Amino acid sequence: MRNKRKSISLLGWIIGALLLIYLGVFCYLNLCKYAQHVDSDIAAEALLAREIWVEKDITPNDWISSTERRIIGMPTVAAVFYGITGSMQTAAGITCVLLGAILLGTFYFFLRKLSLSRTASITALLVLCALPINGFRNEGQMVPFVALLLFLFAEYYVFHGIFLFFNILFYLKLKENRQMTRKTFLEWLVLFVAAVLLNCGGQRCLQVIILPLLVVEVIALFMESGHLRQKLPGGRYLATAYVGSLVLAFLVSCLYGGRGDYAVYLLQPGEAVEKLLLGVPAALLENFGLVGNAKVGSFASLMQLLVWVFLILLGYGLWYVFRKNTESTDRQKDALTILLASVGVTAFIIGITSAEAAHYYFFMAWFAAAVLVAVMVDHMSEGQPVFAGLILTAVALFAVLNLKYTYCEAATTQDNLKEYQEVADYLTEAGIDYGYAEFWDAERICLITDGRVTMGHSYTMASLSGYWWLTSTKWYPPTLPTEMRTAYVVRTEMREAFEQQFPEGEAPILEYENEKLAVYVGDRNYVEL
């Protein structure tokens, strides 16, 4: 038994070393490879940070948002670093390193508060960092989408993750202690304000944090009261009041009006059933990197098969924690229940509405998976040390394989966005300050030049008109003059359609072209919002 404990201790050190390697890779990618992995959605975060600093306004009036107008987010923090460095790339990179570290620190604090060992907690951190794989391999996207959500380049949901862990711990504290102190009141107030701010930026906080907690609390009250037949102690309702205050925070945030005009409709019963049974499970599997399209026997197929094995382990873990293992504490089970409820509520909402069944909406499943692995490692280290050692070994081996599969290429690439870099270099050398392209090209080019060239976007280059999506009104006439040197970046397959919209002899002149993009330059700005 002593030798087995030493083996687990050694594996714990290996897990810790691998975690440090991944953190180093994340830092390097954020600080040194930002321009190699940027797309227009990611670039918009950095561009918004610049606008926040320039306008000295957290929500600049000139900025056209997408479906939400956030008060707090990565751009809010990056704006400060932009003011210090003058570089959007550097500011976004530093911010992602800082916020990613805070997220991991908060997650570690959360795990330790669940009475999980250091080895188990560090293993959970490595699961979150190293086990997501990039099964999609979309154009220019070399890293897992979950990493983009939490650690790399954009960190769309990093504040949701940080708030989630403090929120669960405070809820469990009220449920267990059942008393109000001055410290408790102050913590409550801070979390309420944070909830208001997060909800101002959209409904994601409501969907993945507040509604799941509300569902869990209602069911808990129903069960604890003997199906409403028994009276509960008054202190028990402090936790209920806290959940109610989170709902109130959402209602208060509705006064802000920061949500875009994005209509969602209830589906017909047949459509809802089909979506719940097919679309939602498929999106959940895609969230774990399972997308197929890999030749059997290839490295990619091996990684996806290993993810299937990981999902089987998670299935066993659910049975182990909730059915077999009586040593799991109520706090651990309650925390896992809330995380699983978040996935379930998200699945239900997406399943019965017209909202897209996108894989990234299920990012909370990774938190649940990491906690589940930590609970198994913690409790099996005593009763089943061999199995605990196998889990640690498997996590370590997968982390090593994913370094090869994903991050070696991501960290060493020099030409991931070669055609965009060539266009950016041409525009910079030609001294062109403003240009236009379709959204997926425009802001990517702007970020690669680090703001030296500002690119607005047209919905399609075949019919020039401003596209009201993640852009600034300052980048179009009438704020800009119509008589000015302007570049138009067009996909090569769209060249003919672009030229045909102009009267003969009036089209901008083709000045540069590569395999993917063509650059036209003229003396007139044709794009208006």
Task: Judge contact between 233 and 201, C-beta under 8 A.
Answer: no
Averaged over 100-118, what is the pLDDT?
96
Same domain, 192 and 321: no
Instruction: With CA atoms as reference, report the closest residue to 496 among 474, 467, 518, 478.
Output: 518
Same domain, 236 and 290: no
343 HSE (CA, 13 A, CB side): 20
Same domain, 408 and 432: no
What is the pLDDT, as a whole number, of residue 470?
87
pLDDT category at 329 given cuts 50, 70, 90 is confident
Instruction: With CA atoms as reference, report the closest residue to 439 among 423, 419, 455.
Output: 455
Question: Is residue 359, in this structure, part of any structural domain at all?
Answer: yes
Distance, CA of 527 to CA of 453 (rounded, Å): 16
Same domain, 220 and 275: no
Averaged over 503-517, what is the pLDDT?
89
Averaged over 357-385, what is the pLDDT?
91
Question: Is residue 466, in this structure, part of any structural domain at all?
Answer: yes
Which residue range forms the structural domain that includes residue 193? 157-262
Averaged over 365-375, what is the pLDDT?
96
Task: Judge contact between 25 and 407, C-beta under 8 A.
Answer: yes
465 CB-near residues (< 8 Å, 6+ apart):
458, 459, 527, 528, 529
Question: Is residue 424, in this structure, part of any structural domain at all?
Answer: yes
pLDDT category at 105 given cuts 50, 70, 90 is very high
Percent helix, percent strand, percent coil in the chain, to nearest 5: 65, 10, 30
Which pLDDT tens digit goes with each residue over 410-444? 999 888 889 999 999 999 999 999 999 999 999 99
Averaged over 381-399, what is the pLDDT?
91
Distance, CA of 158 to CA of 164 (rounded, Å): 10
pLDDT above 90: percentage of residues in the chain: 62
What is the pLDDT, as a whole number, of residue 113?
96
Question: Is residue 197, in this structure, part of any structural domain at all?
Answer: yes
Which pLDDT tens digit goes with each residue over 208-254? 999 999 999 999 999 988 888 888 887 889 999 999 999 999 999 88
Torsion over CA: 399, 400, 405, 406 (sign):
positive
Give the angle subtended at the CA of 494 by the CAs of 490 and 496, to the nearest 5°: 110
Task: Point out the least confidently predicted range of 140-149, 164-173, 202-211, 272-281.
Answer: 140-149
The yes-or-no verdict on residue 1 having pLDDT over 60 is no
Tokens at 358, concatenated: 């996108």
The yes-or-no verdict on residue 332 having pLDDT over 70 is yes
Instruction: With CA atoms as reference, report the closest residue to 454 among 73, 31, 44.
Output: 44
pLDDT category at 257 given cuts 50, 70, 90 is low
Number of separate domains in the chain = 3
Tokens at 7, concatenated: 């083996």
Which pLDDT tens digit goes with each residue over 126-145? 999 999 998 665 566 788 88
Tokens at 69, concatenated: 């107008």
The average confidence (pLDDT) of the chain is: 90
Question: Is residue 52, in this structure, part of any structural domain at all?
Answer: yes
Q: Which of 220, 241, 262 is the last residue of a domain?
A: 262
Instruction: With CA atoms as reference, report the closest residue to 39 among 116, 152, 121, 151.
Output: 152
Residues recorded for the chain: 529
Same domain, 209 and 283: no
Distance, CA of 230 to CA of 226 (rounded, Å): 6
pLDDT above 70: percentage of residues in the chain: 96
Same domain, 334 and 404: yes
What is the pLDDT, as a whole number, of residue 488?
95
Q: Are strands 454-460 and 434-438 parallel, antiparallel or unpaired?
A: parallel
Q: Which residue in the block uniquely carries the two structure tokens 């109000």?
A: 180
Q: Which of 412, 446, 479 is the last residue of a domain?
A: 412
Question: Is residue 527, in this structure, part of any structural domain at all?
Answer: no
The yes-or-no verdict on residue 260 having pLDDT over 60 is no
The yes-or-no verdict on residue 2 having pLDDT over 90 is no
Tokens at 286, concatenated: 């895609």
Same domain, 33 and 150: yes
Instruction: With CA atoms as reference, report the closest residue to 471 among 77, 141, 41, 54.
Output: 41
Question: Is residue 227, in this structure, part of any structural domain at all?
Answer: yes
Same domain, 363 and 438: no
pLDDT category at 261 given cuts 50, 70, 90 is low
Same domain, 277 and 143: yes
The count of other CB atoms within 10 Å of the CB of residue 334 is 18
What is the pLDDT, as a whole number, of residue 8?
81
Task: Judge contact between 276 and 253, C-beta under 8 A.
Answer: no
Same domain, 112 and 181: no
Which pLDDT tens digit goes with each residue over 43-85? 999 999 999 999 998 888 888 887 777 888 999 999 999 999 9
Question: Is residue 529, in this structure, part of any structural domain at all?
Answer: no
Task: Judge contact between 469 and 58, C-beta under 8 A.
Answer: no
Task: Point out the least confidently predicted range of 19-23, 251-255, 347-351, 366-370.
Answer: 251-255
Mean pLDDT: which of 247-256, 262-271, 299-308, 332-341 is highest? 332-341
Averaged over 304-310, what is the pLDDT?
94
- 3-class DSSP assignment, residue 471: strand
Q: Which of 237, 262, 287 is the last residue of a domain?
A: 262
- 3-class DSSP assignment, residue 450: coil
